[in-house]
Amino acid sequence: MDPAAPPPLDERAFAALYRAQVDFVWRVARALGVPDAWIDDVVHDVFFVVRRRLETLEPGRAVRPWLAGITRNVALHAHRKIARDRRRAEAAPAPAGPRVPQEQLELDEAAVLMQTFIDGLSEDKRAVFLLCEVEGIAVVDAAQALDVNPNTMYARLRAARVEFDRFVQRLERGPRKVADVPR
């Protein structure tokens, strides 16, 4: 056994400490302003720290002040996390309002039509079309990512665009149902 290693944790002593002090830690966390939704997590984190540091508790030292100090530190971390999350939520753009049913129907139909077109492309054209046209990645960067010559990527993209133009022209001439769209 390594002489520098800490002595093994007495699981029974820890379990007894937990049972005797969990309500106290819960009350301290609540008194420190931890929101109800976070109290159980804070209490859990406190006892996680206690388990790790139990051997450092000086013999004869009162347990409750020691637990209160650990609870204070964990509660402060929780308050900081809550504040960070709140700032992030406030900085996030507001969600879009509900769509008019007709707009949503048109968007759904457009998505189905686009997926029909993409499914009909060869694998090579599909990759370049999705990366460059849909995702907006530069052709040179997409070529490097796919380990393909940039000139080959440009040729594939041109061919995919031609197929897309033809697809759109067929849609403009014919019915709007996906099942009826000729390939």
* pLDDT tens-digit series, residues 28-39: 999 999 999 999
| Predicted pLDDT at 153 | 93
> Which has the closest alpha carbon to 26: 99, 87, 79, 75?
75
Which amino acid type is present at position 130?
L
| Predicted pLDDT at 96 | 76
Average pLDDT over residues 49-68: 88
Give this prediction's pTM: 0.49
Higher model confidence: residue 100 or residue 181?
100
pLDDT tens-digit map of 2-28? 555 445 567 888 899 999 999 999 999
pLDDT tens-digit map of 89-143? 889 888 877 778 888 888 888 889 989 998 999 988 999 998 999 889 999 999 9
Structure tokens belonging to residue 53: 């540091």
| Residue tagged 């996030």 (tokens) | 92
| Predicted pLDDT at 165 | 93
Alpha helices by DSSP H, listed for the chain, are: 11-31, 36-53, 63-91, 101-120, 123-128, 139-146, 150-173
CA distance 154 to 128: 9
Cβ atoms within 10 Å of 32's Cβ, excluding its own = 17
Residue 168 vs residues 68, 97, 117, 133, 134: alpha-carbon distances, Å: 69, 30, 9, 15, 16
| Predicted pLDDT at 45 | 96
Please answer whether residues 46 and 23 qualify as being in contact, where contact means their C-beta atoms are separated by less than 8 angstroms.
no
Nearest-10 crossing angle of helices 150-173, 139-146: 110
pLDDT band at 1 (very low <50, low <70, confident <90, very high): very low
| Predicted pLDDT at 55 | 82
| Predicted pLDDT at 9 | 60
Q: Where do the domains of the chain lie, and which CATH numbers do they carry? A: 11-91 (1.10.1740.10), 101-180 (1.10.10.10)
